[in-house]
A and B are shown apart, each in its own frame.
Chain A
């Protein structure tokens, strides 16, 4: 397997509390990897470690071939990140947001300009390029945020609940963008609370109380837990966590 993320025994402790408890997994290039779990299961902490935002207490992680503890700066150069909160600048225009993030990732201004136009056409936002982001509807903002996160063609993009609060149609469109990016070889690492979205992933990991309780394709998981939907799989696993 040609893996772009390798985590082995990755652990994060805050004082006595173990947020992430010896998790190990690998994600292949171009894969859409769903990272599921109840609130507080440790998803965001694990993701922050993989992004180089937080140092692991112990264990090892390689992202895009770089050690997340020793080379966080290199890791950051090769990933894209879209946070839980909507994270574009509302008082900047659509194209200015794109240009800013492209600039942050060190892209050349000559490369940036034509690429912005291309991306805007792709998103159907070309006519809105001079609109302030604050005036866009939420669904458009999320799509824009995603294309900004992959504007510099990172190897991996981390999406932290990217479709929160978005209507089903826009969510579908959003996933089309994700598939399109995955087809180009960008690895997608996504957390979500929508189980229908979990079905769209190639593989899923389920986190309960800081540990990975299950990791497989959606189909295999349903069979293993004798569940008709991913919802049921989630309930069974999450309830197990509560009882502990």
Chain B
């Protein structure tokens, strides 16, 4: 135990004497959270609209005029059939489709109800959401106008309802905007834990101190654990900062149970630490450790974790591959517990998978760590 303490103290000294690194470690996540939180603009302009108008009557024309005169929309083409909408969407010919039903005017004046379909591209959920909101506004403005006209002309029970049916393409669950916070957390912990642990261990190999440690009676497991503990605590500290920032600065509500949120995150941090340990057993130099954790871990996280691109819209092969990316499970769990606020039962699967991953990686890397000494 005495040895162990001597070690942990040493590791803390290594870290806190390197002020530049520690400031980077803590500063980067804060900067990222703030930049992303504020830079994701909610204002949307020049949405390119395609219209399918089989009725071609007064009401539809007026609605289209409203769209055209709005600053946000720009009608760029008319469609021959509703099916054309989806096809042209993929060619990125427009961002938003307006599909009127047949006999629009007739329905509206006889039954008081007509329907129109909005199709929005939600791969950028923020954009898609805003477009739909603007379009709905235009629609209800027109509805108001109709009613005022009807009242003026002496109809008493004037009640028109134009019902928009919204269809979000590519990202039906609307993951995004401040849902970005969970994604960022998934990335930051890998960055700090995996990269910093692997570098810290490999640094000792490079400097030759590892050999001296191995020639001493210290158990290898102590060396490893004492490397992990400081980064574990720092990560926890960062977790708390991120949570405070999201709640008080970005107004992202933490809907779920805070204790479980912490427990779940700590399991993930453990996975990240063990990944760092694994990397340290595979490489010899600090540069290699940095590349391995940077390229080897960051890229899959950015692309395959659901942080930027929704997993549901990936091809099946990528969906399978994404299953081995720990961040995928973490982000999905954090979204559930933090944003949706569901109980811990619902993230049991994610929790078990991450625990399993941590156990597997630690076992593997301890085995490798030992054999390396021979």
Bound form: Cα–Cα A79–B207 in Å: 21
Bound form: Cα–Cα A238–B209 in Å: 31
Q: What chain B residues lie within 8 Å of A90 (beta carbons)?
A: 207
Are A83 and B10 within 8 A (Cβ)?
no
Bound form: Cα–Cα A190–B2 in Å: 30
A101 touches B (CB below 8 Å): yes
Contact pick for A76, options B2, B14, B217, CB 8 Å: B217
Contact pick for A91, options B14, B218, B374, CB 8 Å: B14
A52 touches B (CB below 8 Å): yes
Q: Return the CB mask of A77-115 against B: 1 if under 8 Å, else 0.
A: 101011111111111100010011101111011000000
Q: Return the CB mask of B1-37 against A: 1 if under 8 Å, else 0.
A: 0110111001001100110000000000000000000
Are A92 and B10 within 8 A (Cβ)?
yes
Bound form: Cα–Cα A54–B14 in Å: 29
Q: What chain A residues lie within 8 Å of B374 (beta carbons)?
A: 54-55
Are A83 and B6 within 8 A (Cβ)?
no
Q: What chain B residues lie within 8 Å of A103 (beta carbons)?
A: 2-3, 5-7
Number of B interface residues in the complex (CB < 8 A)? 23
A53 touches B (CB below 8 Å): yes
Q: With A87-B209, A91-B17, A106-B3 as given contacts, are A100 and B214 in contact (CB-CB < 8 Å)? A: no
Q: With A103-B6, A104-B218 as given contacts, are A96 and B211 in contact (CB-CB < 8 Å)? A: no
Contact pick for A53, options B3, B207, B373, CB 8 Å: B373
B275 nearest CB across to chain A (Å)? 25
Q: What chain B residues lie within 8 Å of A77 (beta carbons)?
A: 217
A73 touches B (CB below 8 Å): yes
A174 nearest CB across to chain B (Å)? 18
Contact pick for A85, options B3, B18, B207, CB 8 Å: B207
Q: With A53-B211, A55-B374, A84-B208 as given contacts, are A106 and B10 in contact (CB-CB < 8 Å)? A: no
Bound form: Cα–Cα A50–B217 in Å: 14
Contact pick for A104, options B208, B211, B213, B373, CB 8 Å: B213
Bound form: Cα–Cα A109–B9 in Å: 14
In the complex, chain A residues 56-83 whose Cβ is within 8 Å of any chain B Cβ: 73, 76-77, 79, 81-83
In the complex, chain B residues 319-374 whose Cβ is within 8 Å of any chain A Cβ: 373-374
Are B10 and A87 within 8 A (Cβ)?
no
Bound form: Cα–Cα A96–B10 in Å: 8
Q: With A100-B6, A103-B6, A105-B217 as given contacts, are A87 and B373 in contact (CB-CB < 8 Å)? A: no
Contact pick for B208, options A73, A79, A86, CB 8 Å: A86
Q: What chain A residues lie within 8 Å of B5 (beta carbons)?
A: 103
Are B212 and A87 within 8 A (Cβ)?
yes
Q: Return the CB mask of B207-226 against A: 1 if under 8 Å, else 0.
A: 11101111111100000000
Contact pick for A99, options B6, B14, B208, B212, CB 8 Å: B6
Q: What chain B residues lie within 8 Å of A55 (beta carbons)?
A: 374
Q: What chain A residues lie within 8 Å of B18 (beta carbons)?
A: 91
Q: With A53-B211, A89-B209 as given contacts, are A76 and B10 in contact (CB-CB < 8 Å)? A: no
Bound form: Cα–Cα A244–B218 in Å: 42
Are B208 and A87 within 8 A (Cβ)?
yes
Q: What chain A residues lie within 8 Å of B208 (beta carbons)?
A: 83-87
Bound form: Cα–Cα A161–B18 in Å: 31
Are B13 and A91 within 8 A (Cβ)?
yes
A46 touches B (CB below 8 Å): no
Residue of B nearest to A93 (CB): B13
Bound form: Cα–Cα A79–B217 in Å: 9
Q: What chain A residues lie within 8 Å of B14 (beta carbons)?
A: 89, 91-92
Q: What chain A residues lie within 8 Å of B6 (beta carbons)?
A: 99-100, 103-104
In the complex, chain A residues 161-212 whose Cβ is within 8 Å of any chain B Cβ: none
A51 nearest CB across to chain B (Å)? 5
Q: What chain A residues lie within 8 Å of B2 (beta carbons)?
A: 103, 106, 108-109
Are A85 and B211 within 8 A (Cβ)?
yes
Bound form: Cα–Cα A77–B217 in Å: 5
Contact pick for B10, options A54, A85, A89, A108, CB 8 Å: A89
Q: With A96-B13, A104-B3 as given contacts, are A87 and B216 in contact (CB-CB < 8 Å)? A: no
Q: What chain A residues lie within 8 Å of B17 (beta carbons)?
A: 91
Are A105 and B211 within 8 A (Cβ)?
no
Are A51 and B215 within 8 A (Cβ)?
yes
Among all A-B residue pairs, the 3 with the closest Cβ atoms: A85-B208, A103-B6, A81-B215
Sampled A-B contacts (22; CB under 8 Å): A53-B211, A53-B214, A53-B373, A54-B374, A79-B215, A81-B211, A81-B215, A81-B216, A87-B208, A88-B209, A89-B14, A92-B10, A92-B13, A92-B14, A101-B216, A103-B2, A103-B3, A103-B5, A104-B213, A106-B2, A106-B3, A106-B217
